[in-house]
Structure 1
């Protein structure tokens, strides 16, 4: 285990709801995603961490959400992106085949954060840094994860906590407005409510 992933596990704890990654899927993404990520998949599978606050996922399952959010944007011309992880509340972590960790989307508020690609950085190293720099607080929303976990129960690998009504429709980020929903379907619905607004920033 590398030092960065060890830091990630120290922060997020043991995995839950682990799913085995077939060799054919690893082969499918060889050359598209860093070998380091594929090694994590092979060793740890796709799973949840911190009781389901953060999830590594099968990018193929999230292609409908990816298309819904950036399919009609200039980002699709800039790079080929894949959803590699998401938070319990719908922060999408996208990885560009050429640009790496340069685009993230907070779906509930229809906002994205983009940064310039550093072409001098080794992508395997960048992947290690991606995991090593993750924090629980930045994946939570208004401190709602712990009470949502207690009230609504632990998420399955294909679920997330969604605000109903959506924040974009005037809903409030409160525990009373949270429901357990199917992740991909909910993310697609959120993308149809309000256009994505992207801020150029360092990630």
Structure 2
């Protein structure tokens, strides 16, 4: 039997509050996250195929560093083609959004996806959330940051990547935090391999309670495609929280997909 290799973050400052350089937001990301593993090189020719589909800074990052796992598998910079079947299933026959507009560039240990849209910009897809699958589209329109106001696409995505360590480190002592769920599953089951996530069995949308011990290794694409068959995802909007110092909260808008006449 192979020995299980868990995760160890003792050499990484998960509370690092670094902000990206505004002129070059992708510089220094790996100084915060640590080295990537399972690195797949990206040629200039391949990167150029995504010109205009994701921010230019991300293309440069791919070409310089490749794509792979950061934070020992907590998140994965991925080949967009891997998740295109998910995008097509999520936005199938929707009158407002076209799946071809969205390019997935990141997935997390539990199957959450970050995508970029040429028209609609920042998009988050969470098909395995409690109760129902959700999609948030933050565009079109100006891209904003709570502290810095309007920012560039490069800054928004660079900041998203740099903040992964901080997100992982939040609530380290809480039972259902990302840190607890990810480290618990990794130390019990071993580190994730490319194309794998930790999924809940049974699914949280089928009565599962979402306990750490319910997580099992599973194939990313197959697991998410299964969840697209449970129900159509709910499009969410975001509204300011009164007195929330610039924070927002989600609210449901409608189901994605074909709409009633």
TM-score (normalizing by structure 1): 0.86
Residue number among 6, 10, 13 corresponding to 2:34 in the alignment: 13
CA distance in 1, matches of 2:33, 2:96: 30
Q: Deviations over 1:139-176 (max 9, x none)?
A: x6482100101011111121111111111111121122
Residues 152-191 of structure 1 mapped to structure 2, 5 A cutoff: 152-191=189-228
Structure 2: gaps of 5 or more residues: 1-19, 143-149, 171-176, 239-247, 250-261
Q: Which residue of 2 aligns with 1:192?
A: 229
Shift of the 100–137 alpha-carbon distance from structure 1 to 2, 3 Å rule, reads farther
1:49 aligns with 2:86: no
Residue number among 155, 160, 177 corresponding to 1:130 in the alignment: 160
* Contact preservation (8 Å) 2:121, 2:137: no
Q: CA deviation at 1:71?
A: 2.3
Larger Rg: 2
Q: Which residue of 1 aligns with 2:125?
A: 105
Q: Deviations over 1:30-58 (max 9, x none)?
A: 22222101011011111111110011101
Residues 6-85 of structure 1 mapped to structure 2, 5 A cutoff: 8-77=29-98, 80-85=101-106
Q: CA deviation at 1:8?
A: 4.2
CA distance in 2, matches of 1:172, 1:16: 31
Structure 1: gaps of 5 or more residues: none
Residue number among 157, 166, 182 corresponding to 1:145 in the alignment: 182
Aligned residues: 200
SS at match of 1:89: coil
Shift of the 9–22 alpha-carbon distance from structure 1 to 2, 3 Å rule, reads closer
* Contact preservation (8 Å) 1:36, 1:124: yes
Q: CA deviation at 1:137?
A: 5.1
Residue number among 72, 86, 94 corresponding to 2:115 in the alignment: 94
Q: Considering only aligned residues, what root-mean-square deviation do their CA atoms show, in Å?
A: 2.5
CA distance in 1, matches of 2:128, 2:28: 28
Shift of the 70–142 alpha-carbon distance from structure 1 to 2, 3 Å rule, reads farther
CA distance in 2, matches of 1:16, 1:192: 32
